[in-house]
Amino acid sequence: MAVPFPDRWRDLKRILDGDRPADATLYIQPPRSLATDIAEEIRSDPAACSKYLLIGPRGGGKSTELREIGRQLSEDLELVELDLDRSGISAASVTAADLLYLCGVGLLRKVPHAKANPLFTRLKKAYTGSDGADAKLGSLADAPAGLAGFSSAAGTAAVAAGGTAGGGPMVGAALGAASIGVRLMAGRPGVVPETSPTGRALEQAVEEITEAARSATDRRGICVLVDGLEKMNGEAGERFRQVFQQTRLLADARWCAVYAAPRPPP
């Protein structure tokens, strides 16, 4: 049997690299497809705003299935794709409030600029919970550009640990102080209840954005796909509970959603 050339071995190694997203063109649907089951459930009733968690170990195929779900839904629903890794957002510190804010920013891409700008201002004020701090979160021109989807590279700002407790944003330190892009608040408590003033204000701001996005897209259903949450380090169990169990901020959102998340410890 002929031995493959070294460059062919290198190509194969790159394809099988567990630290890189799988090539979508290599997806082979199994006899019973999780992606198809979830896509059919969402497509059958987008108004139900159902939520799904893809849970499993790193390298277990969650990202591949998430991308396949998006491919199957792309013709019927408006998709908002958030890849935290490519956006430079650390899953080790992200909260449910952060994710809801990021989803709102992603939805603003569907809204005409004239309407999106005041909606973004209200979203920032609801997210920060105070006047003045919202100005540090960047402009409408910066924030959506800093969110990368599955098919785009994070070409602008990354979010890194830092900022001042309780008020300052976390800025992409690797790109310097002048970097642009999406920014998050540092120092916020791990859980923001949906019944708290911040939770209610954030839900209302995101609901306004959702309605504007639906109006701008012929009332099509919306599905949010979030990847990159698995890198929660040793705090995965507690972080998982804070994001998905101890608040309903994400569960109550008026869109369908699928999150690829780490398997919580027993």
Q: What is the largest CA-CA distance in the chain?
A: 71
Residue 166 has a pLDDT of 33
pTM of the model: 0.78
Of 146, 214, 212, 207, residue with least CA distance to 180: 146
Residue 43 has a pLDDT of 95
Instruction: For 161-220, write each residue's pLDDT tens digit.
Output: 223 223 333 333 222 223 346 788 877 667 899 999 999 999 999 999 999 999 999 989
Q: Are 223 and 46 in contact (CB under 8 A)?
A: yes
Residue 58 has a pLDDT of 74
Q: What sign does the CA torsion over 179, 166, 89, 143 have?
A: negative
Q: Where are the domains of the chain?
A: 39-262
Strands 78-83 and 184-185 turn out to be unpaired
Residue 177 has a pLDDT of 29
Neighbours of 186 (CB within 10 A): 18
In angstroms, the CA 117 to CA 130 distance is: 18
Per DSSP, 187 falls in state S
Residue 94 has a pLDDT of 87
Residue 250 has a pLDDT of 97
Which residue stretches of the chain have pLDDT < 50? 152-180
Of 207, 224, 209, residue with least CA distance to 81: 224
Residue 145 has a pLDDT of 76
Q: C-alpha distances in angstroms, 194 versus 97, 101, 157, 180, 261?
A: 9, 13, 29, 30, 21
Q: C-alpha distances in angstroms, 101 versus 43, 55, 138, 205, 207?
A: 25, 22, 13, 9, 11
Residue 98 has a pLDDT of 94
